Structure 1
Amino acid sequence: MTRRTVSALRADAQQNRQRIIDAASKLFKRAGIDVPLEDIAREAGVGIATLYRRFPNRSELTAAAFAQQASVYVDVIDAATAEPNPWEGLCRLVNGLCELQASDAGLRQFVTMTFPDVPEVQEMVDSIESKIESLLDRAKYAGSLRPDATTADIVLMLLGNNGILGRSWPQAEVAWRRYAALFLDSLRPSLESAPLPPAPSPDTIREALKNPYT
């Protein structure tokens, strides 16, 4: 086999891989990450065997699709953390993440998952968590956020909103906007607020969010 032939085969393999990722992203957005792999292969115009050669299991394909779409997620985080007023930044964060979940079924599930076996994706997630923690610290220092709030509360909020949006019903947008407003109101410091129960530990959160697909 000539070098040119090997190069052409590698290019074809890379094109197939990208077509599969694009197809998965499209179908995940429409119907969530439980889409049958056969449907993704059909959308990509490849055989199911080709899909499995590029992505031996669903978790690898899910991680690749998430990595490709992550810029949308990161943009929401960066816009929120760039706000000079930390409370306004927190409001922008909560509403932005909830709206993102509402607009894309795949991203709705991505943001409540972890990918411990995909270092580049997990590094990005860790960076996002650090940015959110910094925003919360700024809001606490400014006196606009209750002192016992943690990043775990943001994760719990996303899990709750995921449940709300998981049901197809005409009032979903009204529901998630009200949920986000109630959540933000609960974060306001008040002399009448009772102390919160202990938050789940970061390790517990990560364990709960582990990707169930293997």
Structure 2
Amino acid sequence: MVETEAHVPGGPADRGSAPSLRSDAARNRASIVAAAAAVFAEQGIEAPLTDVARRAGVGIATLYRRFPDRDRLIDAVFAGKMGDYAGVADDALAMADPWTGFCWYVHTVCAMQSADHGFMNVLSTRFPSENAAALEAQRVRAFRGFNRLVALAKKTGRLRADFSDRDLPMLLMAHAGIVEATGNTVPELSARFVAYMIEAFSAGPDLRAALPNPPRASALQAAMARSGNCISDGAPTAGPD
């Protein structure tokens, strides 16, 4: 599709401002955002922008007219989903039992990570650039909501007193590694990891819930092979199914 809009440096096209775009340019912008969402979900936010342009059916020059840098495109794609992420904290805070809310929050956020590789990257990356201002605003909202949830869960005596807000990024980075390595082909591994982490966060053994079943050894071996973590001499890295 050929755009008819003239490009003026520093004008609305540079800012990706939809209201002033002509209809063909607006359609191009929407196509680019939709394509980026799909490509980032499959490949992560460092995916080549040429792949995004190809899927959107536009030239790379058109993509850069709409989004002069990667951060602006990431902002357009994920600001709404980051708002949903912030809403998870709001929903958890609304639960009668803060510890139940905390556990639900961890499970829900990890499920959001598993569903979208691009969002998985976004959750463990900061975007201080003003070109991703909407994304960062929602991140701050989510962070503050989570901190309130942590404070309430600690007051119940069920979340360990030394839990830190910095433990959440640690959890998300570790979980991202599991999802990346398995390609979501071994969902039991993610569920078991999250259950272990919640047990580690709890204040005592009486609060421990039963762990999900471990993955089949063959599925785990296949995932490890894809991620390059197999032992080269053929020795088994997991027991039999």
TM-score normalised by L of structure 1: 0.79
2:109 matched to 1:97?
Answer: yes
Residue 164 of structure 1 corresponds to 178
Match of 1:23 among 35, 41, 49: 35
Residue 199 of structure 1 corresponds to none
Residue 32 of structure 1: how far off its partner (Å): 1.8
Residue 155 of structure 2 corresponds to 141
Equivalent positions of 1:1-214 (< 5 A) are 10-117=22-129, 118-168=132-182, 172-190=186-204
Paired with 1:62 and 1:135, the residues of 2 have a C-alpha distance of 28
- Letter matched to residue 144 of structure 2: S
Residue 17 of structure 1: how far off its partner (Å): 1.8
Paired with 1:170 and 1:134, the residues of 2 have a C-alpha distance of 31
Residue 71 of structure 1: how far off its partner (Å): 4.1
Conservation of the 8 A alpha-carbon contact between 2:158 and 2:203 = yes
Moved more, 61-70 or 131-140: 61-70
Moved more, 65-74 or 16-25: 65-74
- Unpaired runs of at least 5, structure 1: 192-214
Q: Say which SS state the counterpart of residue 47 (structure 2) adopts.
A: coil
Aligned length: 187
| Structure 1 residues 177 and 19: CA distance shift in structure 2, 3 A | same
What is the CA deviation profile of residues 21-67 of structure 1, one whole-angstrom value per residue up to 9, with x for unaligned ones? 11100111122223221111111121100101111222221222111
Moved more, 36-45 or 131-140: 36-45
Conservation of the 8 A alpha-carbon contact between 1:63 and 1:115 = no
Conservation of the 8 A alpha-carbon contact between 2:75 and 2:134 = no
Identity fraction in percent: 34
| Structure 1 residues 36 and 145: CA distance shift in structure 2, 3 A | same
Residue 8 of structure 1: how far off its partner (Å): 8.2
Conservation of the 8 A alpha-carbon contact between 1:164 and 1:172 = no
- Letter matched to residue 25 of structure 2: A
Residue 177 of structure 1: how far off its partner (Å): 0.8
- Letter matched to residue 49 of structure 1: A
Q: Say which SS state the counterpart of residue 94 (structure 1) adopts.
A: helix
Paired with 1:71 and 1:8, the residues of 2 have a C-alpha distance of 25
Residue 190 of structure 1: how far off its partner (Å): 3.9
Q: Which has the higher contact order (CA 8 A, sep 6+)?
A: 1
- Unpaired runs of at least 5, structure 2: 7-18, 206-241
